[in-house]
Structure formats: C-alpha cells, structure tokens
Structure 1
C-alpha cells in the first residue's frame, strides 16, 4: 500500500519484517512441538530458540539476498535461519514441514491481527455514528428517493441507519476473524505423513489458532470471507460518503465537511470547500470491492495446491485490510468534524411547496370514501399544478371541491410524519458497543 493510505498499525501487521518474524515463530514452535513428542532432542529445540536470529531489517536483507539464489522465499528464509542457529541444532528447523505450513499459518495469524484492528476501528466509527444520530434525532430534513423530494425524515434517523449497518459489518468482521484464525502443519498434501498431528496442535495452542483439515494449503474460501468483510465495510463507508457528497452540493448544502485553518479547496478557485474525504472514501471503495473478485478466483486451485493464489494475496490481503481500516478511520474523522445545517435542511424541505405531504393527503381521501385511484388523481393534479406554478400545495387543495379541508391539518402535521422514528432509535440503543 502506498504511504498516503497506509497506517502505522496495519503497516506493523503486514510489513516484511513482521511476516518473517511470524515465520520464525512458527518454525521455532514446530521444533519445540517436535521436542515435546520426542522427535527432536530437547536440547536442540532449546538451542534453536536461544540462537534464533532477530527478525529485523538485517535479517530481511539476508533473506532477500538468499532468495535471489534460491528463487524461493521460504527456502531462503529456512537457509538463513539455519545458518544463524548453526548445526547440528539448526538442521531441525523446518523438520517435516512444507512451505505452506509456515506461510499459511503465518498469513492467517496476520489476517487475524488485521481483523482485530478493523473490529476496533468499526467500534470507534459506530460510537461516532451513535453520538451523531442522537445529537440530530430531531433535526428535520427532507428524505429523497431517486434524488427527488419524498417525505420528511430526520438527519439523526439517517445516521442511525448508517450505524446499524456498520454494526452488521462489525459482526461480519468478527465472523471473518473466526474463519481465518486457523492454521495447518500437516505437511506436503495435508496427510501428516512427516509430522505428527500433536505438533500441529502444540503450535496452534501457542498461537491461538485452530488447526483445520487442509490440503497443502488452507482452503481459500476463508480468505475470500475475510475479503468480503473488508469489501462490506468499504461499501458501507462509501454509502455514507456518497450521501454526504450529495448533501454538500451547492444546491443542497445541508452538511459540509470540516475545513481547517490554512486548508485550500482548489488551487484555482479560492471559494471552494470540496468534500475531499468523502470522495477519497468513494474512490478507495472501488479498489477493495475489486479485490474481492480476485479473492474468490483464488479459491479454485489445482489438485492439492498451486501458487496462482500466492502473488494475488501478497497484494489484495494487505491492501484490502489496510484500506478498510483507513476508510473507517477517515470516515470517523469526517463525521467528527461534520457541519450540519438544520436551517438549510428546513428550507429545502419547504422548497417543494408542501408536496412532501402528498401521501397523507392521499390516504385521508381514501379514508373519506374515495377509491385509491380517484384519490391519487386528485392529489396528483394538485401536486403537478403546485410544481408548475410554484404555488403552495395546501392552498390548491383547499380550493379543490373534491377535497375535504377538515383532513388537511392532520395530513400536513410534521409531527405525525415523524412520530414512529423512535423505533429506529430503539434498535440503535440495543447495540452492544
């Protein structure tokens, strides 16, 4: 991931030094596991641990130099590790293992840690949304369908629905975490032909990863589930971002991203205050979603394995989790500084001449004895006239002989329109943050 969208927390999970540190720990635990079942001398396992290299930049450089010869990253890693430990103890490193035992176990370990960061970020974003929803529970605005005025709602209700969706994403992240918090040390085709299952269990217990049946590799539907959780988070963040972008348009101007001192919106036009955070989130969501397709294509491998998935995963797993994490952090920051304009929301609601109450009028006419189609036509002709002439909808209805004016007060009552929004907030308050 390019530095612009990376974070120190995710960098620490996915860096090459972190990867090789995980590989090293898997190898050392496997050696200790073998010692526990009497395969490896206990003294040799102790020496391996004591003489193990430090997983730092120098270690990384030695592996890269060795890989230039071996053309195989795990083999290069094993060579460098054994050289650091020295024989005879070093010869027990990688005993009975295949490359995917080490690589897949360490990769799942990294995905689990990445999932933990994303779960924490989703909780922080959820808390910000809940706070904003309650703050604007009664901030009335127009609801829009197809981009056209529909019926009244509140900004708080809108944000509450975002929060409920983020909470569902958090559940998906937790489920994905469970799916990838696994490991395997079962050898070349997963038959434990050269490694006892007890060694696998020993390593799994030490790492907090569950051993699972596998071929040479752990099944990639787990990785795809992880990528789906990232994609779902990204899609939700974009849902919010697109809405905020629309609401910040000059013609709407109901919300506005914060604008810090010294910030410039345009190099050419000094008046500009653009929704740059929301637009960035929308753009990054495209990358995360597209990575999911590649992850699904990685599921079908030849026989017990090939490496067509390997090059893909080196990109999409770090990038997707890094971007999902970044987007949640960026969105939380956006919401924390969001400027909400209640007066503008009210003005926009009033700008459609009261047409937002057309459905209550329709229903009141039906209750008064008219057929639905008769009522619809009466309301529609008055509504179209209001649009075309810029006349108050209620004024036209009051002058229409087919309309009983006695029902209009209730039909045009904003409190009636919003009286049941408490159900949304009941759901919101039921969330276990």
Structure 2
C-alpha cells in the first residue's frame, strides 16, 4: 500500500467550504515569497538599480507553481528558514530565462525581509476575506435585529433568567461586535508594512549599491524610491524603520485576529445555549445528514456552533505565543521570529474558518418567538422583579421596595404562585394605595420595548448599513475607474505609470475581496 502524507482537514471540519487553505497553504506562502522577491527586483528596476530587462524575467518567474515546493520545504531544514533554499531555486530559474538574471534577485535583502513581507501579503489577503465574511455576517444580523426588535425573550445572567429583553436587541449586540471588529480589521489591513532592512536592518548593502550605481543622486533618495516602489508592488505600506525585532505589527495582527474569532465564537456559543432542548429558542437549520450522532439516532447537534466555539477556544494560546515573540533580542532574534510562523498561520486559519462559519450559521438560524415567550412565562413573573421594584421605589423608596419585592419573590418561588399575585397581596397588607397597586399590576406586561432597546438597535443597525453603503459606493467608483482606463487604452491614450497601475490593482483587489 502506498503511504501518502497529506492534510485534507480531517481534524478541522470547519475549514471545508472556506478559503482557509487557499489563502494560507504552503503554496499560498510560496506565492507570497515569490511576490515579495519579484516586487523587490521590480523596485530596483524602478530605482534604476537593476536593468529594465529584468521586468520580463520577473514576469516569467511570477507563478510559484513552477517551483518545487516539496524540495524547498525539505531543504529549509538546513538553514532554518524556507527563504534560503527558495532564493537558490529562484536564481536557477532566473538563469534559465536569461543569463545573469540571478544577480538582480534578493539584492540587499535578508531572509527575514522576504518572509516577513510574505507574511504581510498573506495577512492582507486573509483580512480582506475576513472583512468580506463579516460584512455578510453583519448584514444578516442587521436583518435579525430589525425583524425581531419586538420579539420578547428572557435576558439571562449567570445562566439564569434575569429580566425581559428582545431577540432583536441580542442580535444588535452581536452586530455591534461585528462592526467594531470590521473597523479594526480595516485599520490593520491598511497599515501592514513591507520589511526591508538587510542583515541588521540598516539597509547598508542597498546604500552601497545606490551610491555605486546612482552616484549623481543622494543614496537616501534612491532608497526611498526602492522602498516606496517595493511596498507599492505588493500593496503594503512603507515602515519608518525595519522591524526585525519590533514585532508590534505581529502582536497587533494577532490581537485583531483573535478578537475576530472571539466575536464569531461568542455568537456561536449563544446559539449553542439557546438551542438546548430545554430552551429551544433558536436552532441551526440542518441539511439531511447534518447534526447526527454515531450512537444516538435522535440527535440534532448544532454542529456549526460547536465547531466555531472550538476554533475560538484555540486562539488565545496562539495569540499568547505571538505576544511572547515580541521578546526579540539583538537585531535579528534566535527563535522568537521562527516561533511566529506556524502560530500566525494557524491563527489566520482558525479565524477564517470561524468567521466564515458564523456567516453561514446566521443565514441558517431559525428563531422561535413562541418558545421565547413560553420560556419567559416559566418564572411566573419573577423576571419582572427589577421592573416592579423600580416603579415601587418611586413611592416607598428603593430600600423598602427592594425588601418588599424580595420577600414576594421568595414566597412566590416557595409556593409556586405568580409573583404578580403574591406581590399584590403584600401591597394590600402594607396599605399601599389602589392606584399604586394598579400600576404595579400593569407592570407585569411584555408589551413595549424594555429600556432603550429600540434606540440601541437603531444606532447599531444604522451604523452598519451606513458602512455597507459607503463600501458599495467605493466599489462602484473603482469599477467606474476601471471602465475609463479600459476605454483610454483602446483609443491609445498614454499609459499610466507603474505606480498608478499598481495602486489601481490593489484598490480593485480590496473591493473584490473586502
């Protein structure tokens, strides 16, 4: 029997149907490394530090599938990182395209420059996918919040029924978290930097090359061009300084990824709780064959919610490792940088799976308003204790009111009688006026929005939809720009600069994936 070693997600069923593997696989990382190396070479051409003919070589080398991924991975053991063997494979391929081409690859860079830049390229694509999925997740949550703003249910604290709320308000709470994390993701996406510093971060090699090949121009200007064009070619930003041991970029990325998974996980955990048989207020709409058990034929498990929660439970440890890697000594660390690679990738994978799973789950969420109302009735009015205490306190004072309602609640629980009836009897004994007793009796009513639920729902839904409308306008504007450029090209208009083309391509990619 042939022994195949491969990973198809056997222990990660949530990944199926997502872009997790596409965006974070070894092949995706190799492509990002290719993109980083060739972007550097193109930047050297832009700065007149490499010959123009290298652009054609770059075009020929652009597809990472031509490189032996398995061989590069195996050879990485010798040097401790995959860039070392990759540069050799890239150089040999370049020489096959044109003799002398390898001289203009990996110029002035070190392994960490390429792998860090590749990590940022991958991270940007991951974040764009997360924003896309969160937008879908949020749109369905906004609809739920609107539709169920008047659907009363029990608010629960510490696992117990507390006071009435509405399912729309609960959905708005989930939506508010989505809106917050999308905003953070957009900020991180637009600030991810390239890495280029050379061996100890001070660009000494590129400085010497700039002086030798562009002696008429200050080296600082030449290097500025290289950095700006390098960043532009890969859709990243120029950092103030190389960040070989300043890993705030990674820790902030880890934080927002873990938080995004936590947002999805909190929603999923709530769904798991609310779908318990004894609660049954919501349920995951299951297709034939889903939610079953290997032993119990009757089971209808909330499988998506369970797997999303599991993903969220794994992320704090990964984020902790990435925070720990901030302790990076000297100008290039021994071990801290290396510890980031797998931790970051697994964190990205779990986040994609969790957020994509949440977007799918909310679209298949069945809500049972009748069951929510029935569960409220289980307490015989005890869920109104806070409300009637507040009303009573306006007449008899807060301390007296609390004591009266507490006494009535204990008696109602002990005798299995409705709180409304017990409290009415106590108020008669206490000599309260008919008007006050009538007011308290009327307070045991589910109608009307508790507190400021309606206003809160409106604020969150409005903010989310305003953001969605703005994103749609940006997309239309970008598409309009594409059409104009296409017409210009057809009539022989002057070609735009490489910088303009790169910016436009980056913008279009953001619109399509975000």
Shift in CA distance, 54/173, structure 1 to aligned 2, threshold 3 Å: closer
Pair 262,296 (structure 1): closer, same or farther in 2 beyond 3 Å: closer
Q: Equivalent residue for 2:461?
A: 429
Q: 1:121 and 1:381, CA in 2 relative to 1: closer, same or farther beyond 3 A?
A: same
| Cross-structure match for 1:272 | 299
Supply the distance in 2 between the matched residues of 1:360 and 1:31 (Cα, whole angstroms): 69
- Where do 5+ consecutive residues of structure 2 fail to align? 1-6, 208-222, 469-514
- Displacement of 1:310: 3.6
Other-structure match for 2:85: 76
Which of 387, 397, 411 matches 1:371? 397
Assess, with a 3 A threshold, how the Cα gap between structure 1 residues 307 and 124 changes in structure 2: closer, same or farther: farther
Match runs of 1:27-106 below 5 Å: 27-43=37-53, 45-46=54-55, 48-49=57-58, 51-52=60-61, 54-56=63-65, 58-64=67-73, 66-67=75-76, 72-86=81-95, 87-106=99-118
State the partner residue of 1:235: 262
Q: Which whole-Å CA distance do the structure 2 matches of 1:125 and 1:168 have between them?
A: 13
Contact 1:187 1:216 in 2 (8 A): no
Alignment of 1:389-400 (within 5 A): 389-400=415-426
SS at match of 2:121: helix
Matches within 5 A, 1:132-143: 132-143=144-155
Deviations 1:207-244 (A, max 9, x none): 22112134462631111111111111111222112222
**Secondary structure, counterpart of 1:391 in structure 2:** coil
Once residues 154 and 34 of structure 1 are traced to their aligned partners in structure 2, the CA distance between those partners, rounded to angstroms, is: 60
Q: 1:414 to 1:77 in 2, by over 3 A?
A: same
1:260 is matched with 287
For 1:150 and 1:235, the matched residues in 2 are separated by: 24
TM-superposition CA deviations, 1:319-360 (whole Å, max 9, x none): 212211211221222222222221111111111111222223
Q: Which residue number in structure 2 is paired with residue 191 of structure 1?
A: 202
The answer to whether the 8 Å contact 1:53/1:59 transfers is no
Q: Which residue of 1 aligns with 2:172?
A: 160
Task: Please give the alpha-carbon distance, in whole angstroms, between the structure 2 residues aligned to 1:47 and 1:318.
Answer: 32
Distance (Å, rounded) in 2 between the aligned partners of 1:357 and 1:144: 13
Q: TM-score, normalised by structure 2?
A: 0.78
Quote the residue 1:111 is aligned against.
123
Q: 1:423 to 1:90 in 2, by over 3 A?
A: same
Equivalenced residue count is 430
Paired position in structure 2 for 1:149: 161
2:414 to 388, 410, 419: 388
Give the alignment's TM-score, normalised by structure 1: 0.92
Q: Deviations over 1:394-424 (max 9, x none)?
A: 1112222224423224422333562632111
Q: Provide, for residues 176-225 of structure 1, a one-character-per-residue CA deviation record: whole Å limited to 9, x for no partner.
A: 2233x211222112212111423222211222211213446263111111
1:208 aligns with 2:235: yes
